[in-house]
Structure 1
């Protein structure tokens, strides 16, 4: 069957139902006025059943083996509505997630805001074609941008089986944020940091899942390729050097270095991986879960704190992503991790593509460091280590240059990491220029350059990884009580 977009077929079903009803055929005189021929009843039921089954099968046909949350929600919606196709709105009352708009419910002794699809109004306007305005037929997702709660509730009730990573959802802290962030800068900071952790962990999970997916097509991972192992990787040269194999030998990740590379800075790549409202056509991997969570987080922050805080959160998150990922996944419109071309006759295998991000410290910043050798660049790890000593340990100065290897640093609080870096002249505002693609020219050869050491670890990311919805709430409550 050709995989051309059959969305108009589904729309035609709804339009057919909205079309004017033809004049009824007069009943034979011997039949009672309330008699409905059986053939009409069966044709009606057949049309309703087919409509929902067609919606389910259509979305399923355009979804990969691992279903994204937005698309599986549409499939779950079709199945949950199927049992009510001929029962009228009275039966829909049994499904508040489908029937109602917004309402309050008691959970754990507290009032929680829930959101449904509001089918009650759609039925009045469109009859049995109620779901026509609820779905974006181009993307096959629920149409309303604000219906994050609906997606979460439908997923929970339908058991879509996305695994523990979807317990890390933004809605776990949305209602808490409404009542706790007002009037307290510290509590607001805790909420913002919690959202940073949710997004960073989901990004790592999706990168790991795409690594595993690419490995099935073109084997490249060395040893254990389980998600448990891949999720624990540190995204730097040291963390990935023993992960990949070429011809049964361990090899570092393949970093793009060619002159035709469009992305020259890590900031440009991060913008490409995250931005959703730039007016550009969406890439084929736009339905990855981390993008959905990022988009919803931006909307939640703006709704509660305003546009200025939303922009601040976006800037902070992109900065954190670069600080904690010195090797980033490279992506183009048609592929994530952008596999290279293979040539089996020449023994060339396809490899996942990565972006080696290297921090180039401006010369003016190095002058602030007492005792640092002249004309010697500081690595990002040395900068972080210096900031830890002078800002966190309150040392008057840190030895220069830093010892080799650099001593390990405990997990960072996000605010303390930002403060330590500001003291060393590293700001989120200059990340677009100073985090660049690491590569060096040697005659006619271009070789990758890697940042030495390991990225900073964040306390919040370690606290919430693999936590259930209830456990996340406890972590968040602990953060709020700590801030006071």
Structure 2
């Protein structure tokens, strides 16, 4: 009966894209979970740090991907992106400097539309991040099961199951801190839309636009308030941190940061992790009053930091990610212990022996990984049914992380 139903075909295709996106990131997540046992990650602090960093990067990358796909979908209904912007294929830094020429209205290239009104639902970044990322009973129609939300919850439950609730809470706090440090512009959501749109009125000449939240940092020891010009707190903090690491003679190019390195460098400059190291929220919406005219949007100057791990994993196949984990294991000096226990020759030697060892490493990873996803009938077969509605782990995990991750 459904063979000739073109409407059903269209709906199936639309749903399949979402299922495929979730399937792809879920496979990489399962791969990372298999690494934990294969390499004895918990036995080496350095390797554990890399594994947790990989999970941070995996989740950040999926969030960026989902935001970009939502932008393209919104653009089909209400064209707003420039042709050049569409071709960027998600390679966008979420800041004003990189997004200021991404949009076009009435033939004029313009900045994103920032929310600045008196009745904003979110005034603080922490409240916005809770709604965007964390799981609770509140409805999010059409976007509550987006891949980035599902995989973040899975990551939290995995870390809680392996390392305990306290370490999972800390990982999640660090993740939300990394979002703050690397995303100075965030989508402005509602219960019915991942990226809310402004009102449309042909009579008044109003065209619907995507709504964005400009996040600025306002600690009084770093920022002079009230703002008299474009905020530059993060720009200065990152510039000082990079200069201390690379030296005064470093070039103006942005360095690639490790996640713990970035967090530590910002901490040294006074930017602490909200909810973990400081009580008050200093990340707020960027706006200033202009009297009776309302508010004027503000945004952070410059470009946010780039993460080294995200560059390493971008567009990589499963085999290439296996090789990356082999590299991490080798660097951390675990070649003999964690790989040797699997019956694989240590690859510290050069030449032919090293090449054979690399092949065995990859084969061992893939075999363990395929057994892992193939157990209990095969997890991969659940992609179109259960993957969008994750359940709590058997470790007693509740759905809402503790208050320390606000």
TM-score, length basis structure 1: 0.61
Aligned residues: 321
Residue 19 of structure 2 corresponds to residue 67 of structure 1? no
Which of 64, 76, 85 is the aligned partner of 1:204? 64
* DSSP 3-state at the match of 1:187: helix
Contact 1:267/1:432 (CA < 8 Å) preserved in 2? no
Asked whether the equivalents of residues 165 and 466 of structure 1 are also in contact (C-alpha less than 8 Å), the reply is no
Structure 1 residue 60: Cα displacement: 8.1
Name the residue aligned to 2:290: 442
Unaligned runs of 5+ in 1: 1-49, 73-160, 368-375
The aligned counterpart of 1:385 is: 239
Which of 264, 278, 292 aligns to 1:419? It is 264
Superposition deviation, residue 478 in structure 1: 1.6
Larger radius of gyration: 1
Question: How far does the alpha carbon of each residue in 1:309-330 deviate from its partner, in whole angstroms, 9 at most, with x for none?
Answer: 1101100110001111000011
CA contact (8 A) 2:217 2:284 kept: yes
Residue 272 in structure 1 maps to residue 131 in structure 2? yes
Q: Match for 1:299 among 157, 161, 170?
A: 157
Kept in 2, the 8 Å contact 1:358–1:435? The answer is yes
RMSD (Å) for aligned C-alpha atoms: 3.1
After TM superposition, the structure 1 = structure 2 runs for residues 265-414 of structure 1, keeping only pairs within 5 Å, are 265-276=124-135, 278-363=136-221, 379-390=233-244, 392-393=245-246, 407-414=252-259
> Does structure 2 conserve the Cα–Cα contact (< 8 Å) formed by 1:361 and 1:378?
no
Residue in 2 that maps onto 1:7: none
SS at match of 2:119: coil
Counterparts of 1:51-200 in structure 2 under 5 Å? Answer: 65-67=14-16, 72=19, 161-162=20-21, 166=25, 169-178=28-37, 179-200=39-60
Corresponding residue of 2:390: none
Partner of 1:468: 317
SS in 2 for 1:354: strand
Deviations 1:430-462 (A, max 9, x none): 486111100011112211001000000000001
Task: Provide closer, same or farther for how the CA distance between residues 412 and 360 of structure 1 changes in structure 2, counting only shifts above 3 A.
Answer: same
Q: What is the rounded CA distance, in whole Å, between the counterparts of 1:332 and 1:432 in structure 2?
A: 25
Flag the structure with more relative contact order, 1 or 2, with Cα contacts below 8 A and sequence separation at least 6.
Answer: 2
The whole-number CA distance in structure 1 between the counterparts of 2:154 and 2:194 is 21
The alpha-carbon deviation at position 344 of structure 1 amounts to 1.4
Checking the alignment, whether the CA contact within 8 Å between 1:411 and 1:457 is kept in structure 2 is yes
In structure 2, the CA distance between the partners of 1:334 and 1:263, relative to structure 1 (3 Å rule), is same
Partners in 1 of 2:22 and 2:159 — Cα distance? 26
Aligned to 2:75: 215
Output the TM-score relative to the length of structure 2.
0.72
CA 1:187–1:432: 2 relative to 1, 3 Å = farther
Q: Which residue of 2 is the match for residue 16 of structure 1?
A: none
CA contact under 8 A between 1:68 and 1:289: conserved in structure 2? no
Once the two structures are TM-superposed, the CA of residue 225 in structure 1 deviates from its matched residue by: 5.2
Decide whether aligned partners of structure 1 residues 252 and 168 sit closer, same or farther in structure 2, where only a CA change above 3 A counts.
Answer: farther
State the 1:479 CA deviation: 2.2
**CA distance, structure 1, for counterparts of residue 13 and residue 123 of structure 2:** 31
Q: CA, structure 1 residues 441+296, in 2 after alignment: closer, same or farther (shift >3 Å)?
A: same
Residue 350 of structure 1 aligns to a residue in which SS?
A: coil
CA contact (8 A) 2:242 2:255 kept: no
Q: Is the 8 A contact 2:112 2:212 kept in 1?
A: yes
| 246 and 218 in structure 1: CA distance in 2 versus 1, 3 angstrom threshold | same
Q: Distance in 1 between matches of 2:200 and 2:27?
A: 37
Residue 408 (structure 1) shift: 2.6
Matched, 1:240 2:99: yes
Q: Is the 8 A contact 2:177 2:273 kept in 1?
A: yes
Q: Is the 8 A contact 1:361 1:377 kept in 2?
A: no
1:449/1:378 CA distance change after superposition, 3 Å: closer
**8 Å contact 1:168–1:202 — kept in the other structure?**
no
Residue 334 of structure 1 aligns to a residue whose secondary structure is coil
Per-residue deviation, residues 335-392 of structure 1 (Å, max 9, x unmatched): 11101111112221000000000011232x579xxxxxxxx985111111112222x2
Structure 2 vs 1, CA of residues 377 and 197 (structure 1 numbering), >3 Å: closer, same or farther?
Answer: closer
